[in-house]
């Protein structure tokens, strides 16, 4: 059974990559992730 965890995802500016890399806020995947209403999507799927 699926249970939603109330654990927030890290903000893109706080997300750390190996070798001290950072996610760019202009990254197309970061932009797309901000556009998707994840809570609504999760309610419909689960």
pLDDT digits 0-9 by tens, 1-46: 677 777 777 787 888 888 888 888 898 998 998 899 988 888 887 7
Q: How far apart are CA 10 and CA 13, in angstroms?
A: 8
pTM reported for the whole predicted model = 0.59
DSSP 11: P
> What is the β-pairing status of strands 16-17 and 21-22?
antiparallel
- What pLDDT sits at residue 35? 93
Domain assignment present for 37: yes
- pLDDT of 7 reads 74
Q: Is 28 a domain residue?
A: yes
In angstroms, rounded to a whole number, what is the distance separating the alpha carbons of residues 20 and 42?
32
pLDDT of residue 11: 82
- Give the structural domain span for 23: 12-43
Chain Cα centroid distance, residue 11? 7
pLDDT for 20 equals: 80
Is 27 domain-assigned?
yes
Is 1 part of any domain?
no
């Amino acid at each position: 059974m699926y249970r939603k965890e109330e654990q927030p995802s890290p903000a893109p500016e706080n997300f750390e990559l190996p070798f001290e890399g950072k996610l760019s806020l202009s990254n197309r995947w970061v932009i797309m992730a901000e556009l998707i209403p994840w809570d609504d999507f999760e309610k419909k799927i689960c």
